[in-house]
């Protein structure tokens, strides 16, 4: 795990860095093997509040926790608890999915390679194809209002968003529909 700590409007002492490293390092216990992920920790002061943000990019999944309080150490503890909850939730939903063996297709025909613009190529590398349930999970984990993703079956770009009544909206190229809250 690669831990990167930033400070804005705040002097990061060795004690604070050590405390952050100790707390954030505990998330490795939730994984069977050492994780290869970049963890970005931003500590800053905003309106007399000590704030901390923890962002983890892990196998195409983004996990984010943010906390504000009067004390930086208290903010770190709150953010760590949020991070642990999100990781447990992610692992529970991930482990409930049935494992499917990979489908292998053999073909003697050469595939035709279409020219793709560079921005399309980078977008496809950033977001792995996923189904709607995985997209909702990502939306909840990243605590965002909307998410763009590629459908794993049709490979079309879709958008999902959370409505004010707690449901989810799905925007596809041809239609828009509402999805009841999952969970």
Tell me the per-residue pLDDT of 45-83, one tens digit each, with 9 for 90 and over. 988 899 999 988 776 677 888 999 999 999 999 999 998
Neighbours of 94 (CB within 10 A): 12
Q: Which tokens is 104 given? A: 């292998």
Contact 48/104 with Cβ under 8 angstroms?
no
Rounded Cα distance between 40 and 28, Å, is 15
Q: Please state, rounded to an integer, the average pLDDT across all residues of the chain.
A: 76
| Distance from the Cα of residue 105 to its chain's centroid | 31
CA angle 35, 40, 41 (to 5 degrees): 120
Rounded Cα distance between 100 and 174, Å, is 29
Crossing angle for the helix pair 72-96 and 14-25, nearest 10 degrees?
Answer: 20
- Identify the pLDDT of residue 124: 41
Domain extents in the chain: 2-96, 118-179
Higher per-residue pLDDT: 43 or 166: 43
- Identify the pLDDT of residue 103: 39
Rounded Cα distance between 18 and 16, Å, is 5
Q: Which CATH class is domain 2-96?
A: alpha beta
- Identify the pLDDT of residue 117: 42
Q: Read off the pLDDT band of 102 (50, 70, 90).
A: very low
Residue 23 backbone class (left: φ over 0; alpha: ψ -120 to 50; beta: rest): alpha
Tell me the per-residue pLDDT of 5-55, one tens digit each, with 9 for 90 and over. 888 888 889 999 999 989 888 888 877 777 777 888 999 998 889 999 998
Per CATH, 2-96 and 118-179 having the same topology is answered no
Instruction: Please tell me what DSSP assigns to residue 27.
Output: G
pTM of the predicted protein model:
0.55
Q: Read off the pLDDT band of 178 (50, 70, 90).
A: low
CATH of span 118-179? 3.30.505.50
């Amino acid at each position: 795990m690669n831990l990167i700590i930033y400070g804005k409007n705040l002097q990061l002492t060795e004690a604070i860095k050590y405390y952050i490293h100790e707390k954030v390092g505990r998330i490795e216990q939730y994984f069977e093997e050492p994780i290869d992920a970049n963890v970005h920790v931003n500590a800053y002061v905003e309106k007399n509040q000590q704030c901390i943000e923890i962002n983890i990019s892990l196998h195409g999944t983004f996990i984010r926790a943010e906390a504000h309080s009067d004390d930086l150490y208290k903010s770190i503890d709150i953010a760590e608890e949020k991070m642990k909850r999100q990781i447990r939730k992610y692992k529970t939903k991930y482990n409930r999915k049935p494992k499917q063996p990979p489908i292998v297709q053999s073909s003697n025909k050469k595939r035709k390679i279409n020219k793709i613009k560079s921005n399309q190529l980078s977008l496809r590398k950033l977001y792995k194809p996923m189904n709607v349930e995985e997209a909702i999970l990502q939306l909840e984990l990243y605590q965002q209002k909307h998410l763009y993703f590629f459908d794993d079956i049709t490979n079309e770009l879709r958008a999902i968003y959370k409505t004010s009544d707690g449901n989810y909206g799905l925007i596809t190229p041809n239609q828009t529909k509402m999805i009841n809250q999952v969970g």
